Structure 1
Amino acid sequence: MDSDEQLHWKINIKKWGCELGFVAIGFTSAEPVDGLDQLLQARIDRGLATPFEGKEVKQRIDPKAGWQDCQTITALAYPLPYTLPPQEGEGVIARSAVGEDYHRVLRQTLNRLVDIMRTNGWPGNLRWQVDTGPLVERAFAVRAGIGWIGRNQQLIIPGYGSFVVLALLLLDREIASDRSISDQCGVCQSCVEVCPAHIIGKEPFASKDCVSYLTQSKETLSPEECKRLGTGIFGCDSCQDVCPHNQKRLKEEQTDLSPFSHRRGVDLLETLNLSKREFQERFQVTAAGWRGKAVLQRNAYLAMQNVQDCRLKPWLSEHKKDKSIPPIISSYL
């Protein structure tokens, strides 16, 4: 495509994307991300990466490793829904895991964008990924100029913050890249100070020690890790809640207490006692559903221990008597 046609598609893809609800869209080349291979390999070599992270580094940094025809990466950020805060003593679900599973929402929205592009004569092929693909979405989003990586490892979008989920749209046509923006964290240490795991600000980032990962891990947690969970049931927003760049969004969330907002709080005993049907109705449709019922029950048990919930002792007595304690909890007795 010549420069005029590139500009035409850039303007329109951004316009159509914004109309579909994306809060930031940018373009970058399909070249590998400089220096990211060394960082990823260092995390792998030092045992700091989670099992969810791919070990084939080239696949994670080079779009052409997965699709040779790729010429351009479009990075898109979609907002997480507004939520209602948890009540005292409730278990906490991160914003990314309330409401309809964001993977499904993003795939549907990307499909609509692709349909619009094709209806308007997009001349090439395309592919996309939402979170579970091999490419490191945050790295390409930074290079596409939609934000920067904060100390807390989150992509922060100027004027909006970090409560977004990311997608990449891969194109086999060249579109001029957008300019990246500089880091705007400055001297702020808010996320460093509040991190339950005390891992922010240290390099390489120990993602396997992050509370968000621990709430999803099926491995037996150490006593220190159990305490670190606090009342976390799935995910962790601690470092994002204190970020200055999220305060505008948080104020809007606190003043828009719509009955349709999703609650981040869950009753600990109800979560511990989840039946298969209750799990399917309450969690299966969310981004927490993929990990299964047992992990959520374990986290509810540990949270009840952490807050010394008076309902835990009778629960233990009853379930020890009839030998119905879930296996995932047995190792914590």
Structure 2
Amino acid sequence: MMERLKQELIQYSKEIGIDKIGFASAEPFTELKQRLIVQQELGYQSGFEESDVEKRTEPERLLPGAKSIIAIALAYPSKLKNAPQSKRGERRGIFCRASWGRDYHVVLRDRLEKLEAFLRERVPDVQISSMVDTGELSDRAVAERAGIGWSAKNCSIITPEFGSYVYLGEMITNIPFTPDTPIEDQCGTCTKCIDICPTGALVAGGQLNSQSCIAFLTQTKGFLADEFRDKIGNRLYGCDTCQTVCPKNKGMNFHHHPEMEPDPELVKPLLKPLLTISNREFKEKYGPMSGSWRGKKPIQRNAILALAHFKDETAVPELIDVMKQDSRPVMRGTAAWALGKIGVKEALTHIQHAKEKETDLEVLLEMEKGIRMLEIQ
């Protein structure tokens, strides 16, 4: 009966648009537990994940009587159709591929809810606990055990069918499904992702220092450390470098789900309009995207850094306004630094005048940096 139910569930998953499904035991993730403890000791965690290692590695703590975990994967696009061009005076930023289209948390929860309903109809007393990304369990560890793909050196799950361009979700249940066989690691001796990481955040194959990962840094809200400012480029949210360089992702581009189709103007937006976007407009335009979850502040700070990256002289008037008028210290200070980086001499007087009225110590420090860059040019 369990095997028949498993096959019926697999068939139903295809009907509702799940690209891959796998089944794993709900035994503790003992190896993962040790790795997470090391990550904590090294200070490599981002702070966004669940801090309780036991909850992350012991499914029965989340669902007493847990017997199985059902893992799902949905493939998302890797190439942008009709991408607008970034050009002089109209520079653009970029959201990572995982933020294209509708927020993947919403999409995957919809699929998991359908699977839940399917199981409840056939097993009325079934117990279920589902989660996507923000749950306690490690999506990658579950997917690896369930045979969805292997855990790669770039810390992504790579599937043979879709590469690493997949969203992951899982469902713990008390139904004792037969577990699937994990996929053998296929990274081999390749180290391209480690070699190309802009900040060296991939300290070793499968080991990430989240504190220096650009994907994490773009989501922080404070001043970005000087050492990372030149490396963030025009990224507004996330980083795809370790995925785009991966040979296993070559030619992988799937458009299976209409809700995942990106709006080119949203995922590659003009930078200057972002500097003055209102809370309401930001929520209306970017709210449905997963990249909006931290609000507009990190996106705006990153837009300023991107304008500095491009040395966009046409943005100087807008940056001067931000430096003088924005109520948030991070925006004022980052704008002052960006003015120095862009290097238009006329900005020097504006920074000096703004400095006379500034009271925030961190902003004053950024203004000094901007002034020094302009004075030595």
TM (normalized to structure 1)? 0.90
Gaps of 5+ in 2: 256-260, 337-377
Residue in structure 1 matched with residue 40 of structure 2 by the alignment? 44
Residues 1:78 and 2:79 aligned together: no
Residues 1:19 and 2:15 aligned together: yes
Aligned-partner Cα distance in 2 for 1:310–1:27: 55
User: What are the within-5 Å matches in structure 2 for residues 100-179 of structure 1?
Assistant: 100-121=102-123, 124-179=126-181
Residue in structure 1 matched with residue 50 of structure 2 by the alignment? 54
Q: What are the superposed Cα offsets for residues 40-92 of structure 1, whole Å, 9 maximum, x if unpaired?
A: 11111111111102221110011011221211001111122465246334201
Residue in structure 2 matched with residue 300 of structure 1 by the alignment? 303
What is the root-mean-square deviation in Å for CA atoms of aligned residues? 1.9
SS in 2 for 1:165: strand
Aligned-pair CA distance for 1:191: 1.4
Contact 2:150–2:184 (8 Å) recurs in 1: yes
Residues 1:286 and 2:275 aligned together: no
Query: CA 1:122–1:16 in 2, change beyond 3 Å: closer, same or farther?
Result: farther
Contact 1:149–1:156 (8 Å) recurs in 2: yes
Residue in structure 2 matched with residue 248 of structure 1 by the alignment? 251
Aligned-pair CA distance for 1:245: 1.7
Residues 1:183 and 2:179 aligned together: no
Residue in structure 2 matched with residue 330 of structure 1 by the alignment? 332
Contact 1:63–1:135 (8 Å) recurs in 2: yes
Residue in structure 1 matched with residue 342 of structure 2 by the alignment? none
Residue in structure 2 matched with residue 256 of structure 1 by the alignment? none
Please tell me the residue identity of whatever aligns with 2:14: C
Aligned-partner Cα distance in 1 for 2:262–2:320: 37
Query: CA 1:187–1:157 in 2, change beyond 3 Å: closer, same or farther?
Result: same
Residue in structure 2 matched with residue 257 of structure 1 by the alignment? none
Please tell me the residue identity of whatever aligns with 1:42: V
Tell which structure's C-alpha radius of gyration is larger.
2
Aligned-partner Cα distance in 1 for 2:31–2:20: 25
Contact 1:160–1:248 (8 Å) recurs in 2: no
Aligned-pair CA distance for 1:239: 1.0
Gaps of 5+ in 1: 254-259
Contact 1:86–1:92 (8 Å) recurs in 2: no
Residue in structure 1 matched with residue 4 of structure 2 by the alignment? 8
Aligned-partner Cα distance in 1 for 2:234–2:29: 37
The answer to which structure has the higher helix fraction is 2
Of 230, 233, 246 in structure 2, the residue corresponding to residue 230 of structure 1 is 233
Aligned residues: 321
Residue in structure 1 matched with residue 85 of structure 2 by the alignment? 87
Aligned-partner Cα distance in 2 for 1:119–1:86: 47
Residue in structure 1 matched with residue 316 of structure 2 by the alignment? 313
Aligned-partner Cα distance in 1 for 2:287–2:3: 42
Contact 1:75–1:169 (8 Å) recurs in 2: yes
Contact 1:142–1:180 (8 Å) recurs in 2: yes
Contact 2:75–2:162 (8 Å) recurs in 1: no
Aligned-pair CA distance for 1:107: 1.1
Contact 1:305–1:312 (8 Å) recurs in 2: no
Please tell me the residue identity of whatever aligns with 1:171: T
SS in 1 for 2:252: helix
Contact 1:81–1:99 (8 Å) recurs in 2: no
TM (normalized to structure 2)? 0.80
Residue in structure 1 matched with residue 364 of structure 2 by the alignment? none
User: Identity over aligned residues, as a percent?
Assistant: 34
Contact 2:323–2:331 (8 Å) recurs in 1: no
